[in-house]
Amino acid sequence: MALAPGGGPCYRAGTVELGPFREIDMRISANLGFLYGALPQIERIAAAARDGFDAVEFHCPYEVPAADLAAALAQAGLPGLGINTRPGDAAAGEFGLGAVPGRETEADAYLDEALDYAAAAGIRNIHVMAGKASGAAAERSFVRHLSRGAARAENLGITLLIEPLNSVDVPGYFLTGTDHARRIVEQVGRSALRIMYDLYHMQIMQGNNINRIRALGPLIGHLQIAAVPGRAEPDRGELAMGRVLRDCGYTGFVGAEYRPTIPPGEWLSRFRERLEH
């Protein structure tokens, strides 16, 4: 996440029409949960560096010792932007535990593990997976969980992220819109908690992305992109991705979290060339 002098995510002020995208100094992060999947986790970092990505982010790299991940990042010269908390029993359909009533002990343990791992590996952000739940009890559980974790994250210099997901891909997920995410962040009231805005998920659920990102401003800690529909390369589909990224005001790292149909380096070169014209 790009930081302004005061420590928060970087945004441009105002809503005037902006100039060419290349003036924004866009930095693109390879999401290694989706990209370079044929390689072992540790080798994906070097592959992303060779292809010209500016950073990397992960889903759940816990099988790699944190010290080894830190060494690979240092050797590649790339920052590690994020990891997820464990999803729980993925085979049973679980998608996180943070907002699931009755699973508080497991959820806290997963977040503690993620904080320890991120601190040791030099990872900047943790996506706290909410899980499949609904209602007031779930919201209370999530706020309690995030409040506890954010207090510790602040001491470690790590940011926690919550991400609204679309209800087509993840039916029953607790968090599906940015208004709800904003309410959660404001209830917790900690500088170490921000929103991860995924244009793929939010185009499906809400649309109006430029105005929504502008309105959220510094509450957004990270932004991710993929094509809608299909979640393929982000320069495909119904979104004018270049215009959205140019005009929304966000200037931090952009996470490329998509399902590749061509080599990632080939897409990255094509994407950057198109954005500059």
Query: Which active-site residues does the annotation give?
Result: 163, 257
Q: Could you tell me if 78 and 52 are in contact, meaning their C-beta atoms sit under 8 angstroms apart?
A: no
Angle at which helices 209-216 and 178-188 cross, to 10°: 10
Q: Are strands 28-31 and 80-84 parallel, antiparallel or unpaired?
A: unpaired
Residue partners of 158: CB distance under 8 A and separation at least 6 = 115, 118, 119, 123, 124, 125, 126, 192
Helix (H, G, I), strand (E, B) or coil at 144: helix
List residues bridging with 193 in a β-sheet.
160
Residue partners of 22: CB distance under 8 A and separation at least 6 = 275, 276
Instruction: Give the chain's end-to-end CA distance (angstroms, integer).
Output: 26
